[in-house]
Amino acid sequence: MAQHFFITGTDTEVGKTYVTCALLRDLRRRGLPAVGYKPLACGDRGDARAMQAASDPSLPLDVINPIYLRAATAPYVAAQLENRCISPAELAEGYRRICGAGSPVLVEGAGGWEVPIAPGYSIADFAAELGLPVVLVVGNKLGAVNHALLSIAAIRARGLELRALVLNHAGVSWDTAAVTNRRLLEEFAGVTMAAELICGQDDIDSAAVLGI
C-alpha cells in the first residue's frame, strides 16, 4: 500500500515548498510516480506551479491546487475577503482525486501548523483528518527551536506520527543560532534530523526523510 505524507512548517516562508519539491524530484528520480498536492494557495500560485513542475507537469494546476485565494494572508481571512467559505470536504475531495494521479502524494499545508482555514477549522484539523505521517520543515534561524518544539508537541497531540524533521537554511550567513539549532532540536525533541539543507541546496535523500 502506498504511503502519503503531510508536509508542514514551523512558520510561513521556512521552505516547505522548497523541501517538498526536492523530495518530489528525488522520489521520481528513484522511479516513484510522486505527485504534490497544495490544497490552498494564498497570494499567488507560484508554489503550486513549482510542485507541478517537480512532479507531473501534465497534471492540471487545479488538481494540484484546487483552492486559490488572491490575498497573501491566512486562508480563512483570504476567503472572507472574497466572500467565500472554504469547505473541508472540498479539500478532502481534492486529496482523493490526486491520489489517483500518482503515488506517493506529498500534501503541503499553508503557513504553520495551526493556521485557520474556516470557522473552527485549521490546517491541523485537515492533517488530522487525513491521518498521514508528518514531515516538519524547520527554518534554521533564531527562534527555530521554540517554534519547532511547540509544533512537534502539537503534531503528537493530534495522535499523528512525526516522520521526520528537515532543517532548512534559507540565508547565506550563519549565526550562533543557525549553527547550534540542529544539536538543540535533536536533544530536546529526541529526534534525529533527517536532512539539513544549506542555502541553494536543491537535492535531498527522500528515502532518509520519508522512510520509503
* Enzyme catalytic residues: 38
| The pairing of beta strand 195-197 with beta strand 162-168 | parallel
Count of the separate structural domains present in the chain: 1
Contact 88, 118 (CB under 8 A): yes
Q: What domain range includes position 83?
A: 5-210
Q: What is the pLDDT of residue 204?
A: 98
Looking at residue 2, what is its pLDDT? 63
**Tens-digit pLDDT profile for residues 190-200:** 999 999 999 98
Report the candidate in 187, 188, 184, 208 with the shortest Cα–Cα distance to residue 197. Answer: 208
What tens digit of pLDDT does each residue of 116-132 get?
A: 999 999 999 999 999 99
Separation between Cα atoms, residue 32 and residue 158, nearest integer Å: 29
User: Any idea which residue has 534530523 for its cell?
Assistant: 193
Q: Residue 63's domain is classified under what CATH number?
A: 3.40.50.300
Determine the length of the chain: 212
**pTM, rounded to two decimals:** 0.96
pLDDT digits (tens, 9 = 90+) for 39-63: 999 999 999 999 999 999 999 999 9
Low-confidence stretches of the chain (pLDDT < 50) are 1
Q: What's the pLDDT at 172?
A: 77
